[in-house]
Each structure stands twice: as structure tokens, then as C-alpha cells.
Structure 1
Amino acid sequence: MGKNLVIQTDFGLSDGAVSAMYGVAISVNPTIRIFDLTHDIPQYNIWEASYRLYQTITYWPEDTVFVSVVDPGVGTDRLSIVVKTVDNQYIVTPDNGTLTHIKKHIGISEARIIDESRNRLPRSGESYTFHGRDVYAYTAARLASNVISFEEVGPSIDVGEIVELSKTIASIEKGVIIGNIDILDIRFGNLWTNIGRELFEESGIKYGESLEVTISNSTNQLYKNSMTFGRSFADSHLGEPLLFVNSLDKLGVAINQGSFAKAYDIGTGANWKVSIRRVPKRG
């Protein structure tokens, strides 16, 4: 029985690029099961590609094969690799930082360079700008369909050599919880931080407490206000801000039935800092 194939790109769906990847996979195996993770990663945003893999991968069965193509370095000397996670999933991707969150939070047991002399779409050797179709979709479909084994992908490389993006660790300093805004819950405009629920528990903060939240980027402070730490959106009134634990067991910042990101023009990444502390007592 073949494995599932899940595809993520920054291609969008306004042209035929994703359809071409589907066609290559189906040409390898007409019965292959193909699913979309997303094709709406912002162009060239490797960080978001890394996070969306982390957000999704643990909910898929063992042996699922993922393809992630956010590849501003296509045609350069960056490696094309397939990794096996500690949970026996496979990811086919350029080695450009896309595996940062998987490597840090899930774990990678093995990695192999794609041998393009064996694992490349036939008659595509003169194409250098669509590895998603010619190398990644083709190799992933062969792996998911058991046409090749993981060992037949190509030569192994040291997992420690896999490229990682800079990633800040959340911490507690003098009673203040400090972290980053990693990503947006795009449709609803909620902020997802890198602050884990366990860190909150370590600080002794309980549900229902009022907390002061400050958000800044590398140049400006954009938000500072108090809000409630709630179990759900029902713990706040319409239009009120709140802190909550999201689906990845991280702290989120939201407006009840509103977009926090749009309301305060908040972005994501290493330069976007959030700090949380108990509201100082007056007097």
C-alpha cells in the first residue's frame, strides 16, 4: 500500500505550477493519494514554510511523504534532500532552513541528498528553475509509491549539517516572560508566539489573571495593554483582547472576533518581540 503525499509551496493556485507537480506524481503512480498542506506561503518565506510543516506533520500517519517547495535559491548550489523524522515521516525539500522547526521540536533521524542522476523527471535535465516539479514531486512520488526506498534517494549526510534559521528560545527574566511572534493564524489575525504553556505554568500564572502584554519590533513598540489569560474566547467580551493557549500548546494573542494583527499592524519573525508580566499593583 502506498503512502500519502502532502505538498506545500509558495506557488499559489493562479497558474499551472501545482497542477504540474500533481501530474508528475500521478505519472509515477496513478493511484497515489495527494493532499495540499498549503500553497499560500508568502513568496520566499522559508520561516513560514518551516512553521507550517511543524504545525501539521504530527497529525499525519507514519510514512507520510511531505514535499515543501519554498526555494528562493533554486538553481544554486543549495542541496536537495529528503529527511526521515523520528516519527517516521519523510520530507522532500531544499536544504535552506525549511526544516528548522522540525529539527528543533520533532527531531530528524536521517537525511539523504537526492541523487538527480536517478531521481529526476526524465527529459528534464536542462531545466534549473522548477525543481519542485522535476526533482521533489518526482522523488516524493517514487518514495511514497515504494518505487524507491529511502536508501535509494541518494547518499546520506550528517543531520547536524542541515541548514537552520535563527530561532529564539522563550524565557523568563525577572518575572517577565519574553518571546517572539512566530507566525499568524492568518484567517483570524491571531498572533502565535513561541512561548509554551509550560513556561506560563512555571511562572505560576493562572487562567483568569490580568496580564500586561507588550509587543515591539526592532524599531518601535506597537502595543502595550492588559488582557485576560483565558481558556477560550468565551472568557472575553466581543472586541476585547485576550491571551490563550493555541492548538500547538503555545501562547496566542487575539481580539475576540477581530484581527489583532490588522488592528495593530503586527508582523512575525525574529524581530517581533512579545513580553508578558502580571499587571503591576498600584500604590
Structure 2
Amino acid sequence: MSRNVVLQTDFGVSDGAVSAMYGVAVSVDRNLRIFDLTHDIPQYNIWEASYRLYQTITYWPRETVFVSVVDPGVGTSRLSVVVRTLDGQYIITPDNGTLTHIKKNIGIAEARIIDENVNRLPKSGESYTFHGRDIYAYTGARLAAGLITYEEVGPIMEAKEIVELSKPEATVEEGIIEGNIDILDVRFGNLWTNIGRELFQEASISYGDSLEVTISNNTQQVYKNIMTFGRSFADSHLGEPLLYVNSLDKLGVAINQGSFAKAYHIETGSNWQIIIRKAPEIFFRS
């Protein structure tokens, strides 16, 4: 029985690149079910490719085959791999850091290097710049269709050898939480941090508390304000900032019906730090 194939790229859909990948997969087995995760990853942004896989993968059935192609090193000596996660999913991708979040948050059971002498679209041997079509979509479709086994992908490699990007961890000390802006909720401009809800519990922060939020890019402070920790956007007025728990159980920063990222020109990555603490109480003399 054919499995699902889920595609992710930084190609966009303004030309025929994604369609060509669909065509290769359907030519392998017209009964394959092919879906798009996204094709709007910012060009060459391996970090975002890694995060979007992490955001999505656990909601798909076991043995779904993910093909992720954000590949600034295409045609170089970087390896092409297929990994099987601890949850029984398959991911086909360049070994360039795209598996960072999967490796740290979900776990890799086994990894194999794609043998391109066997697992390559016929008559594509002289092409070195479209591995998404010629190797990844072709190998993914054959694996999903059951035409090859996982073992036939290629030689095994140690999971610990998979390339990882730098991924800072959030911390809490004396009630002060420090983390990073991992990614944007792109359409709405909310900031998604790497701070898990459990750190708020450890810092004895509850819904309704007023919190001082400071955001910096390296050492330059970009934003500082007091906002409410709410269960939903209804816990703030229109245009007000708030902290909330997002769909991945991480802390998000938002403006009610506005884009926080655009309003304060905030981006993502390890250079973007966020510090959260309870706001000091202010007492007025009568």
C-alpha cells in the first residue's frame, strides 16, 4: 500500500520546479498521495526548514515520507540522507542542518546515505543542480510506493553524525526566563520562542500575570514593555501586546490583531534573545 509523501522546499510556486517533483513522484506510482508542507521557506533558510518539519511531522501518520529541499549546497560534497524518526516517519533531505529540530526534539532512530548510483531519476546523471527532482522526489516516491525498502536507500550512517545547526536552549534562573525567537507565525507576525510552558510553571508565572518582556538583537535592545500572559487573544484589547502558549506548547509574543514582527522589526535566530520576568509591583501612596 502506498504511503503519503509530503513536500517542503524554498522553490515557491511561480515556476515549474515543484510541479516537476510532483510529476516524478506520480510517474513512480500514480496512486501516491502527495501533499505540500510549504514551498515558501525563505531562500536558503535551513533553520526555518528544520523548524517547519518539527512543527508539522508529528501530526502525520507513521511511515509518511517527508521530502525537504532547502539546499544551498546542491552539487557539492554534502550528503543526501534518509532518516527514520523514533516516531516511525521518514525524512529525505540534504544533510545540512535541516534535521536539527527533529534530532533534538523527536529523535532519529536510524540514518542512511542515499546511494545516488541506484536511487536517481533515470537519464538525469548530468544534472547537478536539481537534486529535489532527480534524487529526493524520486527516492521518496519509490520508498513510499514500496518499490525499495529503507535498507535499499543506501549505506547506514551514525545518527550522531547528522549535521546540526546551533540551537540555544531556554533557561530560567531566579524567576528570570531567557530564550530566543525561533520562528515567526508568518501570516500573523507573531513571535514563536524556544521557551516551553514548563519554564513558566517553574518561574511560578500564571495566566493573568503582568510580565516585563525585553527583546534584543545581540546586545542591542529592540523592545521592552510590560504585557499580560493570556490564555487567548481575547485576554487583551485590540492592538495590545500579550504573551500566550502557541500550538507547539511554546511561548509566543503577539499584538492582538496586529503583526508584532513588523511593528518592531523583529526577526528570528540565535541572535534574537528574549528575557521575561514578572513586572515589578508599583505602589502609590494615598
Answer yes or no: same fold by TM over 0.5. yes
2:53 counterpart of 1:53: yes
**RMSD after superposition:** 0.7
Provide the C-alpha distance between the structure 2 equivalents of 1:84 and 1:244, rounded to a whole number of angstroms.
33
Q: Could you tell me which residue of structure 2 aligns to residue 143 of structure 1?
A: 143
- Structure 1 counterpart of 2:89, which letter? Q
C-alpha separation between the residues in 2 aligned to 1:230 and 1:175?
18
Q: Distance in 1 between matches of 2:63 and 2:152?
A: 16
Q: Report the CA distance between 1:173 and its aligned residue.
A: 2.6
Q: Cα deviations across residues 9-64 of structure 1 (Å, max 9, x unaligned)?
A: 00000000000000000110011100000000000000000000000000000000
- Letter paired with 1:208: G
Partners in 2 of 1:72 and 1:234 — Cα distance? Answer: 42
The one-letter code sitting in structure 1 at the alignment partner of 2:87 is D
**Mapped partners of 2:117, 2:29: distance in 1:** 20
Q: Tell me the TM-score normalised to structure 1 length.
A: 0.99
Runs of 4+ more than 6 Å apart: none
**Aligned counterparts of 1:144 and 1:201: Cα–Cα separation in 2:** 42
SS of 2:141's equivalent in the other structure is helix
**Structure 2, unaligned runs of 5 or more:** none
Map 1:108-257 to 2 at 5 A.
Answer: 108-257=108-257
Distance 2:200 2:171 in 1: 10
**Cα distance in 1, alignment partners of residues 276 and 244 from structure 2:** 12
SS in 1 for 2:133: helix
Q: Does the residue aligned with 2:254 lie in a helix, a strand or coil? A: strand
Deviation for aligned residue 1:219: 4.5
- Any idea what SS the aligned residue of 2:142 has? helix
Deviation of 1:117 (Å): 1.1
Counterparts of 1:242-281 in structure 2 under 5 Å?
Answer: 242-281=242-281
Q: Percent identity?
A: 77
Residue 247 of structure 1 aligns to which amino acid in structure 2?
Answer: S
Deviation at 1:281, TM superposition (A): 2.7
Q: Deviations over 1:133-180 (max 9, x none)?
A: 000000000000000000000000000000000000000133210000
CA distance in 1, matches of 2:280, 2:174: 13
Which letter maps to 1:239? G
2:101 aligns with 101
What is the SS of the residue equivalent to 1:5?
strand
What TM-score do the two structures reach when normalised by structure 2?
A: 0.98
